[in-house]
Amino acid sequence: MANQNFNTFGRGGVIADQASFDVGLRAHMIRVYNYMASGLALSGIVAFALFSSPQLAGLFFEVSPRGAVVGLNALGWIAVLAPLGLLLLTSFRGAAMSVGAVQAVYWAVTALMGVSLSLVLFRYTGASVARTFFVTAASFGALSLYGYTTKRDLTAMGKFLFMGLIGLILASLVNVFFPSGTMSFIISAAGVLIFSGLIAYDTQKIKEQYSEAYGTEVAEKMAIFGALSLYLDFVNLFQFLMSFMGQSRD
């Protein structure tokens, strides 16, 4: 893909006013980051509520007599797997969905992800979770800034990262059935590298997509989809970093 010219947009070859376009782009990116931050906040609230309330945790987890979480129950598995189904729905039906429907899917995904993230709180100490979160946030900020400002076309890197992501998923599935400490370490290291790259790539893609939707109502849906991409990048990077930085409660 050739480098996108952000001074133009495809509406009869009309050249947009640069100042107006730049203001719109900044507003669009702020909207994306606001959606993302709100989604992370909702996930955090759900995760902390489950961690703090044994009654709520019992709705999703198998709890030992001593109060320790030992696994997911039926409702927990539904909550963990439901985001995947919602993401597949938006992949196939996103273009036909209204803005309100896309927003509903986004909030549902981020709320349900809180169930998965609560497992991090049950497994690791609060101090290590907070430390890893701030490291993730700082890394995200630097990588997203790079993706936004770089003149380099990251399309080729995106294709490589996508192939790496497929390999990562397959390796993770194999490791579930044939656990290996060495394989777990390799998967975590690869996950950190892949999702670090995806943060920069997705940020640039969001910027490019805005230039294509400039001046249309599609921009709002693109902001939500862009926020969802960055949200997933952030959460996955955080979880893989926890493998290295997390301190077990045991």
| 211-226 confidence digits (pLDDT tens) | 766 556 677 888 999 9
What pTM, to 2 d.p., does this model score? 0.88
Q: Is the pLDDT of residue 67 over 60?
A: yes
Nearest to 105 by CA among 123, 90, 121: 90
CA dist 112 and 115 (Å) reads 6
Residue 91: its pLDDT value, please?
85
Mean pLDDT, rounded, for 77-101: 89
Q: Is 122 exposed, middle or buried (0-12, 13-18, 19+ CB in 10 A)?
A: middle
Q: Is the pLDDT of residue 238 over 90?
A: yes
Q: Is the pLDDT of residue 84 over 50?
A: yes
| pLDDT band at 13; cut points 50, 70, 90 | very low
Residue 213: its pLDDT value, please?
65
Task: Please state, rounded to an integer, the average pLDDT across all residues of the chain.
Answer: 87
Q: Is 128 exposed, middle or buried (0-12, 13-18, 19+ CB in 10 A)?
A: middle
Among 100-114, 164-178, 203-217, the range scoring the smallest mean pLDDT is: 203-217
The strand pairing partners of 61, in sequence order, are 72
Residue with tokens 């203001």: 23
Among 15-19, 48-52, 82-86, 243-247, the range scoring the smallest mean pLDDT is: 15-19
Q: Is the pLDDT of residue 231 over 90?
A: yes
